[in-house]
Amino acid sequence: GAVVSQHPSWVICKSGTSVKIECRSLDFQATTMFWYRQFPKQSLMLMATSNEGSKATYEQGVEKDKFLINHASLTLSTLTVTSAHPEDSSFYICSAPGTENYEQYFGPGTRLTVT
């Protein structure tokens, strides 16, 4: 099946710094990727839809200037958390749609801890 990777798998950063998370589709092309955030003991919430060659679409309440998304190629989308604060600590998961049965392929997630 299709594989989506994320890097890094976990990161600790200091408050005020920026962190970049990469999401790659390893064996297929993805013109669209989705970014989710999951707080402890909660469900996944869609943050934004990343579109290759155009601007990302953000969900209501998500600060686009804080969570910068760049879909650089058909296999890579990046999420940059700018000026991170402790409340940004979360599990970030990306996914890409498959071509069959309307499935999505999920990355393993990135755990961000801001100190």
Partner 1 sequence: AQSVTQLGSHVSVSEGALVLLRCNYSSSVPPYLFWYVQYPNQGLQLLLKYTSAATLVKGINGFEAEFKKSETSFHLTKPSAHMSDAAEYFCAVRASGNTPLVFGKGTRLSVIA
Interface with partner 1 by CB under 8 A: which residues? 32, 34, 42-46, 49, 93, 95, 97, 101-104, 106-109, 111
Looking only at the bridges linking them, the beta strands covering 4-7 and 19-25 are antiparallel
Task: Specify the residue, 66 or 111, whose C-beta has the smaller distance to partner 1.
Answer: 111
Min dist CB 9 to partner 1, Å, is 9
Shortest Å, Cβ 25 to partner 1: 14
Q: Token digits for 71? A: 């879909």
Is 19 or 96 the residue whose CB approaches partner 1 more closely?
A: 96
Q: In terms of CB distance, is 10 or 83 closer to partner 1?
A: 10
Question: CB 44 → partner 1: shortest distance, Å?
Answer: 5
Q: How far is CA 71 from CA 42, 54, 80, in A?
A: 27, 8, 11
Q: Which residue has the tokens 């760049």?
A: 70
Strand partners, 19: 81
Judged by beta carbon, residue 82 or residue 106, the one nearer partner 1 is: 106
CA dist list (Å): 36 to 14, 26, 61, 78: 22, 19, 13, 13
Task: Write down the least CB distance from residue 83 to partner 1, Å.
Answer: 26
